[in-house]
Amino acid sequence: MLSAVTTDVQKAILGEDPSEGALRTVGSSVLLLVATLATIFAAPGFALPVLAVFLVVTAFGWTTHQAEMARLLTLVATVLTVLTVTLITVYLFVSAAPAFAAHGLDLLTIPIVNGEPQWFLWLDFLLPSAESIWNPRAGVYSLIPLIWATVIVTTIAGLIAAPLGVMGALFIAEVASDRLREIIKPGVEILAGIPSIVYGFIGFIVLNGFIQKSFLDDGASYLIAGLVVGVMALPTVVSVSEDALSSVPSAMGDGSAAMGATKWQTMKSISVPAASSGISAGIILGLGRAIGETMAVAAILGAVVQPTVPLFDVFDASSTLTSAIAHNYGSASASTVDVLFVAGVMLFVIVAGMSVISQYVERRINEKLRGQQ
Amino acid sequence: MSERYARENELVSAESNLYDKAMDVAIALSIVTFVVGMITFADAVPLGATGTELVNFFAALLGVVVGGTGIVAVFSYANVIPITSQRVRGVAMGLLVSAVGLTLAAFVLPVSLATMLGLVMLLEAGLLVAAGVVSRLGLVDTAPSMTAGLLAGVVFGIIGALVGAVIVGSLPGLDAAVPGVPVWLLGAIVLGVGFGALAIVPREDLGSTLPAALIIGLLGVTIATAVIGVGWQWTPENLSGGFTGGSVIPVFVLFGSLLASWSAAKCRADFGARGRQYGAFFVINLNAFLMVAIMAAIVVFVTVKGVGWAFHDFSIGALSLLVVLTPILVLTAQHARAPAGTDEWHSAARQFFRVVPLAAVGSLAALLLGIIVTGTTFEIPYQYAILVDRSTVMLDTAFRVTPSLTVGNLLIIVSGAILFTYFLRRYGSLRNVGTEYERLSLVRQGVPAAVGLLGLLSLVYVVIGPVLDNIGIGPVLGLGVATLGAVVVAAFALVPLGALVTGEGTLAERAHESAQLLNVGLFSGIALLMAVIVLEWTAVSNPQLGPVAPVPVVALVAAVSSLCIAALVARARRSTDDTLRRRVLGDEVTLALAAATGYVTLVGLHVAATSESTFALGPVEVGINGSLSWPTVLQGAIPLGQAPGGIYPAIIGTIWIVIGASLFAVPLGLGAAVFLTEYAEQGRFTELVEIATNALWSTPSIVFGLFGAAFLIPRLGNSLSLLAAQLTLSFMLLPLVLITSREAIKSVPDEYRDASAALGVDRWTTIRSVVIPAAMPGVVTGVILGVGRIAGETAPLILVLGSEIDATTAVDVLGGFAFTTTPPFITNEALLGSSAALPTQVWGIITAGVSGSPSKGWATAFMLLVVVLSFYAVGITARTYFRRKINYE
């Protein structure tokens, strides 16, 4: 058993049939690396010298057994990457645990306004309700207003990004000439590259004033935040949907053209249905971006946490899950930080889940299209 | 795609009749109303405008339309951009007609802009009804289907339901006809079904015009009769906000004109399959245009807002600008040489467009020379806002180009290095050309040896410099060797020129014969002088022969001599007809130009190496401090001064964050990608890693911030720190590097690996010499785009780096390293301390409330945009370049 494991490890590190010298060089390098990791946790002060020794040995090994060393280094990179990913995930969950333990279902408290629970349908019966919903000093926390704010902003953003994004993808994939595509595609990428804080600054200084004047609002509003986040999610929808549309085999379009169909008929009846799962993957990813968007929302909506009354009031404003973290973390007490970690885990789970779903959908469409070719 | 639809071009170029022209006008009219709707939505023109104001507005619009269509018409007439499509011509004519008509109407009718828009929408509705009826009666030749289709029916049904709900709901005094069901719901159902039926039941020509016309007409009547007028307001009880005429009217106009353009486009293309295509494409194109417009608007808006503060007190010497201009000049010259445009273009026009950039650069250079010669400063004075004691103060400032002849050495080094690389890349080879003199081979062997010796000597100075100084031979030795080197270099530079000028035969023959001399002389000279400058740097000496410093003087002489060679050879090249000789001489010109730029670069390097403040030649000075003054980029904030200083600390902070994050993430991600793609067995494990990295890539950035703040900061000295920021962002960058590198490595064809294996090459050598070079373009592009994204990332930074807005000093990371005798032996205060950064500074200004200066925020946002977009520009250009290269090879 043990020897089997050793052989496996050796095979992973060195590949098949290593030479004596390679075994020695790479072995010492591995040992030193393990030593480095150990000192980081045991005596962090001495980690740097050990690391330096590792580097020297590795550099020496690189000159004598380059192939084996390269394999080792890439393996180390892989292991470190996987470790990082695991560490982040596990640490988030562990940090969120205290708040779960302390507040439990109370984190989903629904507010009471004017003596009436303000949340509709069955929520009243399922969840506890309270007068105060976000009061760090009294230790009262409810994530429901934050979740609902996220829902409103994401809905508005989706209503904007989905139709416009799909039409934009259709334009780039099917309508535009090659030349035009060379201009528009980078244009969309640049739209994705504009930092979110710039959107936030525009929203904070310009658009909030606009909505106060044109929509008689008294300050920030979901409408503006949703609009801005919609524009920000647009490029994601466009590029993923465009990839899906472009990967529809050209034979399908050619067949349609041979039947005498116009371009629009081909698009409507062949390309879009064939790429529909890819397009929905794009929309899901776009929604994921919208949920995770922080700075623009934080700048536009401000730091207030309050229930939205009535639920569909798009002119109201409250922090979302993301912007609550951004606003509150710096000045938060330990218990608030734990609650913010619950919000972070929630975001992480939702968005990572959406990403996994969209990957699954994309993989399926690829298999399907490959089967048809 | 295009071949499949070849017939389409014939169709769109067919002659148009009166019906077609009317529909073109309808399309154009809806475009105009759409644009006006956008303008009024942004409140650029008040909806209540009447009389002269309205006439002026429409006259301006007319001017824009005339200018736009006019220039296209001229180009089309000149056959530069031939426009054969009758549809495009028709829409252009329609634009003119509508703009003229609107201006006249504004002149004649005493109405406000809002009423006018309502009337125009009524007109559009009328046109659509007329088109539908004319087509139904068979007066024009169209090809409608039996019905407008289910999709149109459903869309119109939904719109009808909305209209019904609003109309019935807002009519007062209507009691519930059916108890328990709200009236607005009844209205919605009735009108929804009605509109849906109206779209589906009649033939397509009526089905796609009548419901659209009804809706547009309804909106038009509402606006024109001022039911919803300029001052109209509606605040629903349970909403925090409300609606005003100022926002509702533009929305109505935008929606109505979109609908009208779709319907009119359908009519124009005679309904049926072609009509649907034209209508759908019209909307899709409009959407694409809108997307690009949004992007451009954001960039332009931030630029306009931020550029004033960002360039306050900016001044630069004209000569420095000229130095910056030279690489651009060479690039535009290259552009002018390359063939451009398509073959159908008029050849004269093609040449014109090729030389326009060159001419522009030339005239700019002439302007700068004019500034130098006349000695007058070029100034654009303007005002910018700063915040003093929470109140805005306007300061006078100016954008200046001074006639100063001082040039910073960094500018010279950068420009010169760019040009040197450019020319060197264009230079082919002069091997086996011309006479091979016997002594040349001696030089060929001697120069590397000399360079090596100089290098050794430099090393000696680095190691035991103080000792040499103490025994007194340090300065003398350095001075002597450097001077000797300079003299030899002068010989190297001048001998080829001498060979070119004297000797037998024509100039071209001499140039051809002395190719080797040129080759060896110029390259050796540069290499030797470079070694001498390194020696100057390590020996801390600046040899002076009386008032003259030999090294830079020799470099200048060599540069001039190389330029002379270039000019002479270029002249000789003109005079010869021999193709082979022309080629050789062309290479020689490139070589001489490369040498000239190389020598000029060395002048800049000399100033940097000797840390003497300047090297002056008459009035021209090359100094460490150039004539550039740009407080925003080169200074920290000045707390209590009149001038606000700049954002240098934030820029430096962002640069260090980007560098640190890339240092951690790029090797790790690239290594993992190589292992996962080349070594690991493709299966469960690799798939799992792929899914996990993809999920991590779309994880909200604030979550990374949480992790960094809670995990990294306690382990890195318990304070906000630059190192934590770098690590946090590297965790964000890691998945992207991994994903793009894997994509790039995967897309290297297996034939490459097989071919390499067939040659008996082992796996690692194959990866190193075949796979990675082939995948490099993709990797580089991916990394650049990812880094661009990281540079603008804010959310994690505010948790781990803080958000300082008035930093006065920048972090000094390089100078922060210190060795200690206790663990951890190397410390860096700068890395473990906080720093300003561009994105967090913008956030800081937002949260600072009244004490945050908006103008500084705009300037910071502008600089951030410049940084991020330049990463994107470089990344996208690199990708296009590599893709073209791969496709054409």
- Convert the pLDDT of each residue in A84-117 to its tens digit: 888 888 888 888 888 878 777 777 777 776 666 6
Taking the C-alpha atoms of residue B664 and residue B658, their distance in angstroms, rounded to an integer, is 10
Taking the C-alpha atoms of residue B842 and residue B855, their distance in angstroms, rounded to an integer, is 11
Rounded to 5 degrees, what are φ and ψ at B785? -65, -40
Same domain, B668 and B755: yes
pLDDT at B9 over 60: no
- Nearest alpha carbon to residue B460 among B557, B535, B543: B535
Residue B888: predicted pLDDT: 57
| A78/B672 touch (CB, cutoff 8 Å), yes or no | yes
B274 touches chain A (CB under 8 A): yes
| A43/B823 touch (CB, cutoff 8 Å), yes or no | yes
pLDDT at B67 over 90: yes
Taking the C-alpha atoms of residue A96 and residue A87, their distance in angstroms, rounded to an integer, is 14
Residue B177: predicted pLDDT: 57
Same domain, B30 and B162: no
Higher-confidence residue: B69 or A217? B69
Q: In CATH, what number is assigned to the domain containing residue B770? A: 1.10.3720.10
Other C-beta atoms within 10 Å of B641: how many? 8
Contacting residues of B for A80, CB less than 8 Å apart: 668, 672
- Nearest alpha carbon to residue B209 among B19, B12, B14, B37: B19
Residue B473: predicted pLDDT: 67
* DSSP secondary structure string for all residues of B269-322: TTSHHHHHHHHHHHHHHHHHHHHHHHHHHHHHHHHHHHHHHHTTT-EEEHHHHH
Same domain, B163 and B242: no
Using DSSP's 3-state secondary structure scheme, residue B244 falls into: strand
Taking the C-alpha atoms of residue B713 and residue B733, their distance in angstroms, rounded to an integer, is 19
| B672/A171 touch (CB, cutoff 8 Å), yes or no | no
- Which chain A residue lies closest to B734 (C-alpha atoms)? A81
Q: Are B636 and B807 in contact (CB under 8 A)?
A: yes
Who among B679, B696, B734 is closest to A74 (CB)?
B679
- Which chain B residue lies closest to A312 (C-alpha atoms)? B239
| B765/A67 touch (CB, cutoff 8 Å), yes or no | yes
- Which chain A residue lies closest to B856 (C-alpha atoms)? A201
Q: Show which of B245, B269, B299 is a domain's final residue.
A: B299
Residue A116: predicted pLDDT: 67
In this prediction, residues A124-140 reach a mean pLDDT of 69
A333 touches chain B (CB under 8 A): no
The H or E element containing residue B327 is helix B318-337
| B731/A289 touch (CB, cutoff 8 Å), yes or no | no
Q: Show which of B404, B435, B456 is a domain's final residue.
A: B404
A95 touches chain B (CB under 8 A): yes
* DSSP secondary structure string for all residues of A164-215: HHHHHHHIIIIIS-HHHHHHHHHHHHHHHHS-HHHHHHHIIIIIHHHHHHHS
Taking the C-alpha atoms of residue A88 and residue B712, their distance in angstroms, rounded to an integer, is 11
Residue B18 resides in a domain:
yes
Same domain, B573 and B657: no
- Residue A179: partners with Cβ closer than 8 Å, 6 or more residues away: none
Same domain, B191 and B210: no
| A167/B679 touch (CB, cutoff 8 Å), yes or no | no
What confidence tier does B4 reach under pLDDT thresholds 50, 70, 90?
A: very low
Residue B3: predicted pLDDT: 44
Same domain, B520 and B584: yes
Rounded to 5 degrees, what are φ and ψ at B348? -60, -40
Structure tokens at B355: 């030389």
- Residue B350: partners with Cβ closer than 8 Å, 6 or more residues away: B339, B340, B341
Who among B284, B691, B871 is closest to A171 (CB)?
B284
Among positive and negative, which fits the CA dihedral B383, B386, B392, B395? negative
Residue B6: predicted pLDDT: 45
- Nearest alpha carbon to residue B357 among B325, B316, B380: B325
Q: Could you say which DSSP state residue B548 is in?
A: B
Give per-residue pLDDT as tens, A331-345: 777 778 888 888 888
Higher-confidence residue: B650 or A313? B650
User: Which residues 257-316 on chain A approach chain B with CB closer than 8 angstroms?
Assistant: 257, 261-265, 267-268, 285, 288-289, 291-295, 298-299, 309-310, 313-316
Contacting residues of A for B8, CB less than 8 Å apart: 263
In this prediction, residues B731-753 reach a mean pLDDT of 89
- Which chain B residue lies closest to A177 (C-alpha atoms)? B2
- Which chain B residue lies closest to A176 (C-alpha atoms)? B285
| B273/A265 touch (CB, cutoff 8 Å), yes or no | yes
Same domain, B283 and B364: no
| B734/A84 touch (CB, cutoff 8 Å), yes or no | yes
Cα–Cα distances in angstroms (integers) from residue B684 to residues B424, B583, B681, B696, in the given order: 49, 58, 9, 18
Who among A264, A313, A337 is closest to B239 (CB)?
A313
Taking the C-alpha atoms of residue A13 and residue A9, their distance in angstroms, rounded to an integer, is 6
Q: Report the DSSP pairing between strands B378-388 and B391-402.
A: antiparallel
Contacting residues of A for B40, CB less than 8 Å apart: none
Residue-number span of the structural domain to which B182 is assigned: 149-201
Give per-residue pLDDT as tens, B185-229: 888 888 889 988 888 888 888 888 899 999 999 999 988 888 887
Structure tokens at B624: 């460490």
- Which chain A residue lies closest to B694 (C-alpha atoms)? A355
Structure tokens at B769: 């010499």
Using DSSP's 3-state secondary structure scheme, residue A219 falls into: coil
Mutation site for A-interface testing, chosen from B254, B697, B794, B853 by largest number of A Cβ within 10 Å? B794
Residue B631 resides in a domain:
no
| B301/A190 touch (CB, cutoff 8 Å), yes or no | no
Same domain, B573 and B656: no
* DSSP secondary structure string for all residues of B769-804: IIIHHHHHHHHHHHHHHHHHHHHT--HHHHHHT---
Among positive and negative, which fits the CA dihedral A67, A72, A77, A79? positive
A105 touches chain B (CB under 8 A): no
Higher-confidence residue: B616 or B323? B323
Same domain, B453 and B585: yes
| B241/A92 touch (CB, cutoff 8 Å), yes or no | no
Distance from CA of A155 to the nearest CA of B (A): 17
Taking the C-alpha atoms of residue A284 and residue A158, their distance in angstroms, rounded to an integer, is 9
In terms of average pLDDT, the best of B44-58, B542-556, B631-645 is: B44-58
In this prediction, residues A191-205 reach a mean pLDDT of 88
Structure tokens at B735: 């998945």
Distance from CA of B202 to the nearest CA of A (A): 21
In this prediction, residues A167-174 reach a mean pLDDT of 90
Taking the C-alpha atoms of residue B783 and residue B743, their distance in angstroms, rounded to an integer, is 12
Taking the C-alpha atoms of residue B853 and residue B858, their distance in angstroms, rounded to an integer, is 9
Residue B132 resides in a domain:
yes
Specify the fold of A143-372: MetI-like fold (1.10.3720)
CA B491 to chain CA centroid, nearest Å: 46
The amino acid at A301: L
Using DSSP's 3-state secondary structure scheme, residue B394 falls into: strand
Q: Are B573 and B585 in contact (CB under 8 A)?
A: yes
Residue that the structure tokens 């730029």 belong to: B597
Structure tokens at B311: 């360039």
Taking the C-alpha atoms of residue A116 and residue A120, their distance in angstroms, rounded to an integer, is 11
The H or E element containing residue B740 is helix B722-746
Residue that the structure tokens 């370049």 belong to: B881
Structure tokens at A95: 């940090």
Beta strands in B68-153 (DSSP E): none
Taking the C-alpha atoms of residue B731 and residue B41, their distance in angstroms, rounded to an integer, is 42
Comparing B339-348, B385-394, B823-832, B847-856, the range with the smallest average pLDDT is B339-348
Taking the C-alpha atoms of residue B838 and residue B368, their distance in angstroms, rounded to an integer, is 33
Q: Could you say which DSSP state residue B175 is in?
A: P
Q: What's the mean pLDDT when you consider all of chain B?
A: 83
Q: Show which of B371, B404, B437 is a domain's final residue.
A: B404
Q: Are B631 and B313 in contact (CB under 8 A)?
A: yes
User: Which residues 797-856 on chain B approach chain A with CB closer than 8 angstroms?
Assistant: 798-799, 802, 822-826, 839, 842-843, 845-846, 854
A148 touches chain B (CB under 8 A): no
- Residue A119: partners with Cβ closer than 8 Å, 6 or more residues away: A110, A111, A127, A129, A144, A311
Contacting residues of A for B843, CB less than 8 Å apart: 197, 200, 295, 299
Residue B5: predicted pLDDT: 47
Burial of B290 by CB count in 10 Å (0-12 exposed, 13-18 middle, 19+ buried)? middle
- Residue B374: partners with Cβ closer than 8 Å, 6 or more residues away: B403
Contacting residues of A for B781, CB less than 8 Å apart: none
Structure tokens at B213: 């016309």
What confidence tier does B2 reach under pLDDT thresholds 50, 70, 90?
A: very low
Same domain, B703 and B830: yes
Taking the C-alpha atoms of residue B272 and residue B704, their distance in angstroms, rounded to an integer, is 54
Rounded to 5 degrees, what are φ and ψ at B639? -60, -50
Give per-residue pLDDT as tens, B219-236: 999 888 888 877 777 777
Residue B640 resides in a domain:
no
Cα–Cα distances in angstroms (integers) from residue B270 to residues B16, B140, B142, in the given order: 12, 9, 5
Same domain, B837 and B877: yes
A352 touches chain B (CB under 8 A): yes
| B869/A190 touch (CB, cutoff 8 Å), yes or no | yes
In this prediction, residues B374-390 reach a mean pLDDT of 84
The amino acid at B298: I
Same domain, B249 and B286: yes
Among positive and negative, which fits the CA dihedral B239, B243, B247, B251? positive
Q: What's the total number of domains in chain B?
A: 5
Q: Are B236 and B242 in contact (CB under 8 A)?
A: yes
Residue B687 resides in a domain:
yes
- Nearest alpha carbon to residue A277 among A233, A247, A235: A247
Residue A153: predicted pLDDT: 93
Other C-beta atoms within 10 Å of A209: how many? 10
Residue B789: predicted pLDDT: 86
Higher-confidence residue: A121 or B389? B389
| B795/A221 touch (CB, cutoff 8 Å), yes or no | no
| A294/B711 touch (CB, cutoff 8 Å), yes or no | no
Distance from CA of B800 to the nearest CA of A (A): 9
B870 touches chain A (CB under 8 A): no
pLDDT at B66 over 80: yes
- Which chain B residue lies closest to A180 (C-alpha atoms)? B288
Distance from CA of A309 to the nearest CA of B (A): 8
| A355/B695 touch (CB, cutoff 8 Å), yes or no | yes
Give per-residue pLDDT as tens, B233-247: 777 776 777 777 788
ipTM tops the 0.95 cut: no
Taking the C-alpha atoms of residue B535 and residue B545, their distance in angstroms, rounded to an integer, is 17
Residue B630 resides in a domain:
no
In this prediction, residues B594-620 reach a mean pLDDT of 81
| B824/A44 touch (CB, cutoff 8 Å), yes or no | yes
Listed in sequence order, the DSSP H helices in chain A are 2-14, 20-42, 47-64, 66-103, 123-126, 144-170, 178-193, 196-202, 208-214, 222-246, 250-258, 263-266, 272-274, 276-292, 295-301, 321-328, 334-372
* DSSP secondary structure string for all residues of A12-37: HHH-SS--HHHHHHHHHHHHHHHHHH
| A217/B241 touch (CB, cutoff 8 Å), yes or no | yes
Contacting residues of A for B704, CB less than 8 Å apart: 88
